[in-house]
Amino acid sequence: MIRLSTKGRYGTRLMVNLARHHKNSNEPTILKNVSEEEGISIRYLEQIIIPLKINRLVKSIRGAGGGYILARKPTDIKICDILYALEGSCSLVECIEDETFCEKVKTCGTYEIWKGANDLLRGYFEKMTLQDALEICEKKIADAKKKTKVK
Amino acid sequence: MIRLSTKGRYGTRLMVNLARHHKNSNEPTILKNVSEEEGISIRYLEQIIIPLKINRLVKSIRGAGGGYILARKPTDIKICDILYALEGSCSLVECIEDETFCEKVKTCGTYEIWKGANDLLRGYFEKMTLQDALEICEKKIADAKKKTKVK
DNA sequence: AATATTTCAACATAAATTTATAGGAATTAT
DNA sequence: ATAATTCCTATAAATTTATGTTGAAATATT
């Protein structure tokens, strides 16, 4: 499948969640809350957030009253950064980032197909920031609320 | 990872390979040859070609002198058809084709991100046919030959 | 027509990777 | 001290990737 792994999906949701909390308060967000809101187990979130921390997209604060905060402003975090941190790549197929991955690259009848698709995707994820995602998300929720009010 | 599975990758290579043989002769292509040319085990190719047959992208001819042929002209086979046959979908994330996959779709902060990426990809794979892939491939090999001649 | 050969077909299983859960240690605030 | 929280390691479950074994069908050869 052309598929985004759960790491990539959950990790991005985690980041959007942090961004939303961040907007409302400066206190660190605890994974317990993210877990409840997103329906993803704490244990799994703990694993997923490690590469985000290593790649300095979030900062952790240990101990009671601790949690996680974004390391930079949402405008300065690209979705591509998140995916790269989580996957070690932002590519559709490995041969594009790692020429040694497949010896047939030079004659492969499909390399250019994937390359084209990959460039499309990369452009898309390079342009989109966490702030953009946040705005799309807030708008969506606002619209949903409006709808229920009308009822 | 945003990743195309081996099924999708190998299956597409298989189809391009059939298309190339098809051009040079009308005889069925045997998986043994595809296996050697593409460096993919026959056993695995056998598994991969099943959904391609079920979805009527290839036809099988049993017995001595048998093999596989394309069921339609390369101009009439879209890359999207191939991926769809192999993956049961052409989507980046499952929630886009199956709304029941995740109950959070309505409030998910990342759904629109994936939807946008998915539409890009789908458009790309819808437009590209096996014939296009074949031409890219032939050109590439011709260029490679020219290069070695100059040497 | 009988036989051998070639090829696909089907089922089983092994290996690797991804996805997810569990338990407890380390750190900090109260 | 105690409670809250991240951090670390282990491991279980599910899925994807890949190989092996045997059988069935069609064809070529005798």
pLDDT (tens digit per residue) in A72-109: 999 999 999 999 999 877 678 878 877 777 777 777 88
Among B132, B32, B37, B61, which residue's Cα sits nearest to residue A116? B132
Instruction: Indicate the DSSP class of residue A71.
Output: S
> Residue B1: its pLDDT value, please?
46
B120 touches chain A (CB under 8 A): yes
Of A106, A114, A125, the CB nearest to B4: A114
Regarding the domain delimited by B6-143, which CATH topology (the fold level of the hierarchy) does it fall under? Arc Repressor Mutant, subunit A (1.10.10)
Residue position matching structure tokens 């980032």: A97
Identify the CATH number of the domain defined by range A6-150: 1.10.10.10
- Identify the residue whose tokens are 């329906």: A39
Q: What tokens appear for A86 in the block?
A: 């989580």
Residues in chain A: 151
CA atoms within a 13 Å half-sphere pointing along the CA-CB vector of A49: 28
Q: How far apart are the first and last CA of chain A?
A: 40
Q: DSSP 3-state assignment of B130? A: helix
Is B8 at the interface with chain A, CB within 8 A?
yes
Residues of chain B found within 8 Å of residue A79, distances taken between Cβ atoms: 113
Question: How is residue B59 annotated by DSSP?
Answer: E
Closest partner residue to A3 among B92, B106, B112, by Cβ? B92
Contacts of A1 (CB under 8 A, 6+ apart): B4, B5, B7, B8, B87, B88, B89, B91
Percent of chain A with pLDDT over 70: 96
Q: Is the CB of B66 under 7 A from strand D?
A: yes
What's the rounded mean pLDDT across residues A104-117? 86
pLDDT of residue A1: 47
Q: Which residue has the tokens 């799309």?
A: A136
* Cα B98 to Cα B74: distance, rounded to the nearest angstrom: 30
pLDDT tier at B150, thresholds 50, 70, 90: low
Look over chain B and give the mean of its residue pLDDT values, rounded to a whole number: 89
Q: Is A69 exposed, middle or buried (0-12, 13-18, 19+ CB in 10 A)?
A: middle
Coil, strand or helix: which one is A26?
coil
User: Closest residue of A to B132, CA-based?
Assistant: A113
Q: Closest nucleotide to residue A59 (Cα to C1')?
A: D6
The residue in chain B having the minimum alpha-carbon distance to the alpha carbon of residue A91 is: B2
What ipTM does the predicted assembly reach? 0.88
pLDDT band, very low/low/confident/very high, at B54 (cuts 50, 70, 90): very high
Domain map of chain B by residue range?
A: 6-143
Q: How many CB pairs under 8 A join A and B?
A: 138
Crossing angle between the packed helical segments A111-127 and B111-127, to the nearest 10 degrees: 150
The string of pLDDT tens digits covering residues A31-62 is 999 999 999 999 999 999 999 999 999 999 99
CA distance linking residue B61 with residue A66, whole number of Å: 66
